Structures are given as C-alpha cells and as structure tokens.
Amino acid sequence: MGDKVYIFDTTLRDGEQSPGVSLNKHEKLEIAKQLARLKVDIIEAGFPIASKGDFEGVMEIAKRVKGPVIASLARANRKDIDVAWEAVRYSEHPRIHTFIATSDIHMKYKLKMTPDQVVERAVDAVKYAKKYTSDVEFSAEDAVRSDVKFLIRIFTEAIKAGATVINVPDTVGYTTPWEFGQLIKELKENIPDLDKVVVSVHCHNDLGMAVANSLAAVNNGANQIECAVNGLGERAGNASLEEIVMALNTRKDFFKKECNVDTTQIYRTSRLVSTLTGMPIQPNKAVVGDNAFAHESGIHQHGVLAEKSTYEIMTPESIGLKTNKLVLGKHSGRHAFRKKLEEMGYTLTDDEINITFSRFKDLADKKKEVTERDIEALVEHEVFSVPEVFKLEYLHVSSGNKIIPTATVKISNEEALFEEAACGDGPIDAVYKAIDKITGNGYRLEEYSIKAVTGGKDALGEVVVRISKDGKHYLGRGLSTDIIEASAKAYLAAINRLYYQQVCKHRNST
C-alpha cells in the first residue's frame, strides 16, 4: 500500500452521534461538499438503517458528491446491508462498511453469541455485501478489548470472504499508543494477505489519546485513519481530522507518509461543521482553535515578529488562515505594541510610544484582551491631547439608592496636591462638583456622552464632555473600564484644554 495514508472522515456518521447534534439532509450535503473540497479519501455518509432521514442523507450525498469514496454503514446482517446499498448505490465510488463486535464482553452481554457464531455472521455479511460492490470494509467493534488470537481469526476469514478494508477500532478509547501500535504490528505479522488490503483504525478519545493512538498505528503499518472534523463523535469524540492531517504534514520527516487532504481547506471545514452542528470549538483546540496561532507573551511575540518559525511549527496559511494573531494583553511586549501601531497607521516617536505603552500596560491589567479600538483611543488620548495641567491622582465615590452620592477627589498640578469632597445628584455630578472646587467653576457643562469602545463586560468606556466659557467650547475625552473614572478624566481633559488655550498660551505670549 506504499506511503499513502487514506483519510476516512466519519463526521457525518459517528460525528453526528455526538449528544445534541442532529443534521438534516441539506446540512449533511453541505458538509459533504466541503469534505470533498478538503479532498478526504472516504466520506462515511451515515447509517441508513437508523432512520429515514439518515437514509435520505446518504442517498443525497451519494448522488451529488463526486470525488471521495462514499461509505454506508451496516451491521453484519443482510437487511442492514440491503438498505446501506440502496442508499449508497448512486455514488461513483460506493463502499459498504459492515461491522460486528468481537470482544468477550460485547459478544456475551450485547450480542449473546459465541465466537464461532460471530465469525460466521461476519463472513456472511462480507460475502453478501460483496454482491453489491467490490469495496467492502469490515470492522471488529471493540477490537482493542478483544482476544488477539480471535481478532487474527476473524480478520483472516473476512479477507478470505472478500473484504478490501480491515478496520481495528478502539471503540471505547481504552488503549494507549504503545499497546495499539503493538497490536497493529502483531496483526500485520500474523494475518495472511493483510498486506493486500487496507488496514484501518478508528480511535475514540475517552482518555484523550485518539490522535496519538491513530498515529502509533500508522507507524506500525496502518494505512487508513478514521477521524472526524473537530474531533466530533460519541462521548469524548473521535480522533480529530485536523490534528491527524497536520501531524502527518508537519512531521513528514518522522512519519514519512503522504495524504491527499488539501490543508488550506481545514479552517473553513472546521468552522462550517461547528456552525451546522452547533458544537463550539474550544479556544485552545489544536490547529483550529482561536488561540492556535495567537501569541500574547512578549517573548513569543518578539520571536514571531523576528522569525515565525521560532514559535510556530506550522503556518496559519497552511490551514486556510490569512495570518497569525498577536493578542495584545498584559503579557505583551513593546515590540508587538510598536508593530500594531505601525499596522494601524500611526508613526510615533519613541517618547510617544513609551507614554502610550505605559498606559496600554495599565489597561491590559484590567482587560483580558486589548483591541485595536482600545489602542486607537489610547493614542488619541495620550499622544494627541494637551498637557495635563490638572491630573487626577485619587478618586473615591459613595453612592446608592438610599444615600446621598458623595465624591472625594485628589488632583495635582505643577505646584501642589489638592483634595476636595462634594455631594451631588449622582456619583458623576458629585465628582464634577468636587473637581470644580479645585479648578474653579467659571465654565458650564454643555454636553456629556458615554459609550463602550469595545464589547464585553470588561469593555473600555469612553466619556466625551464639552464645556464652555466666555462663548468658547472645549472638548475632553476620558477612557477607563470604570465609567466614573472615565467621566472624571474627560472633565479634567476639557478643563486642561481650556486652561492650556486660555492661560498657558497667554502666559507664553507675554
């Protein structure tokens, strides 16, 4: 079978068995078309005997999706196989996938059959399916917990009956990479003609080792991996398609295997499946999670900006993303901050960058992630604002529906520190009256507005105030995750602008 690894996608069959997932035939068809664009080798379209909807879904995919093999699942009985064939017969490359359990616990408690009866049933199912199509896959359900000698026996008989694919499932996610690799090796060494068929594995993720187990099997001779987009599937899910494919591609030096998948379609496929199934993707999910190509640490950001391969073993472009993401947060460094400013079109001096970066770090301590809009507001406030004649040093507010709002503020200027307290109709009114006591009150508040600069509960609030004096108007902006603090900063910014234009400029002209 050479160095080729076949990717068997079971998103539409095993993936749809995830609790809470139910796809109609139109949604199944959309996913199947995208899987064809992804260039998977086999699409397991469903389990037709399970329901009328599943039957119609498999039939629609078989008729309309070209390229991949379309597989139809059936238990090892003739009725299931008849229905499976009726659904998949229209495919240009049809496959019947039949299975029966082989572990002692399943044969005794579920099937209530002897090992001999199970072998007889398996052989009959493969021979019967072979009458419909030349491509027949046989699976030994719960193979990992089966007696190895019995597995060798049943697989040998299935191959004699005409099976072209032998599947070794870890149905309950029980095995480990070392054990599973050894099992595949033992089967390869003891089953006649196994090298003439495709050896497949189907691993579940109950212990979090589905991908590792699948890759261990490949290292020991398996050449088909059954997996699902985003790792969907029963209980903890199946081996994740995107992780399997990117492992084979990224570590080609180790695995020395090829697969047909167009990796640039991975991200699009992942998002489509997530949207249609309603199953969200965890942010730190390998390959396709929001954080998979995101960097916040200053050390990492510096390295990635200098050379991406310092912290990225695969490129975002390789899975269909345009670029990586430098997340600006409290761990970010000056290099990433400067880069972001340049991308936003700002050309600042080193001093201006230092000032803005200092304010950015203060904000990042309060927010989980600082957005472009946050940075834009910071630059406008810190770089393009007038000198702070009056600076807010301290603010304390007491307010409630049963008490009179009271504010205490401490403000500094070039000469001294001033502290005042005042009451008001609300906490902001109290703050403004306390500020008036320090800065003077010969001006009028004409306008006050507040908006969230960004979304979320920790949104950065922007307050804009307009004051007037002697017929002239002065604008001030304040930014903070605390709207009362933002209000105080905006009011002082307007007063500073008034003072700068009326007092400082007059002082400089004389």
pLDDT at res. 351: 78
Any idea which of 24-38, 198-212, 326-340 has the lowest mean pLDDT?
326-340
CA distance linking residue 30 with residue 459, whole number of Å: 37
Counting every residue, how long is the chain? 510
- Cα separation values, 220 from 151, 181, 199, 358, Å: 17, 6, 10, 55
Mean pLDDT computed over 344-363:
74
Separation of alpha carbons 162 and 334, rounded Å: 65
Compute φ and ψ for 121, nearest 5 degrees. -65, -40
Amino acid identity of 66?
Answer: K
Beta strands in 38-175 (DSSP E): 42-46, 69-75, 94-101, 136-141, 165-170
Interior/surface letters 219-249, b for 16+ CB within 10 angstroms, e for the rest: bbbbbbbbbbbbbbbbeebbbbbbbbbbbbb
The closest of 445, 491, 444, 490 to 470, measured between CA atoms, is: 444
- Distance (Å, rounded) from C-alpha 10 to C-alpha 46? 8
N- to C-terminal Cα distance for the chain? 92
Q: Pick from 403, 398, 452: which is nearest to 427 by CA?
A: 398
Q: Which residues contact 53 (CB under 8 A, 6 or more apart)?
A: 24, 25
Residues of the chain with pLDDT > 70, as a percent, come to 85
pLDDT value at residue 388: 77
Give the CATH fold of the 6-277 domain.
TIM Barrel (3.20.20)
Show the tokens assigned to 252. 């080609």
The structural domains of the chain, with segments of one domain joined by +, span: 6-277, 294-376, 391-509
Amino acid identity, position 385: S
Alpha-carbon span 169 to 161, nearest angstrom = 20
pTM, rounded to two decimals: 0.68
Give the pLDDT of residue 496: 86
Would you say the CATH fold of 391-509 matches that of 6-277? no
**pLDDT of 316 strictly over 80:** no
Cα distance between residue 479 and residue 78, in whole Å: 71
User: Is-contact 233 17, C-beta < 8 A?
Assistant: yes
Query: Which pLDDT belongs to residue 168?
Result: 98
- Of the two residues 13 and 371, the one the predictor is more confident about is 13
The pLDDT of residue 160 is: 98
Residue with tokens 């500020």: 435
Residue that has been written with the tokens 């904000």 in this structure: 363
- What would the pLDDT profile of 209-267 be if each residue is shown by its tens digit? 999 999 999 999 999 999 999 999 999 999 999 999 999 999 999 999 999 999 999 98
pLDDT more than 90, % of the chain: 59
Q: CATH number of 391-509: 3.30.160.270, 3.40.630.30, 3.40.50.720, 3.40.50.300?
A: 3.30.160.270
Q: Which of the four pLDDT bands, split at 50, 70 and 90, describes residue 441?
A: confident
Please give the residue that has the higher pLDDT: either 111 or 453. Answer: 111
The pLDDT assigned to 20 comes to 77
CA dihedral for 474, 480, 481, 482, sign (positive or negative): negative
Judge whether residue 329 has pLDDT over 80: no
Question: Model confidence over 359-388: pLDDT tens digits?
Answer: 777 777 776 667 666 776 676 665 555 677
pLDDT for the residue 386 = 63
User: Other CB atoms closer than 10 Å to residue 313's CB: what's the count?
Assistant: 9
pLDDT digits (tens, 9 = 90+) for 260-298: 999 999 988 998 998 888 888 887 888 887 776 654 455
* Nearest residue to 103 via CA among 33, 151, 55: 151
Who contacts 362 (Cβ-Cβ below 8 Å, separation ≥6)? none
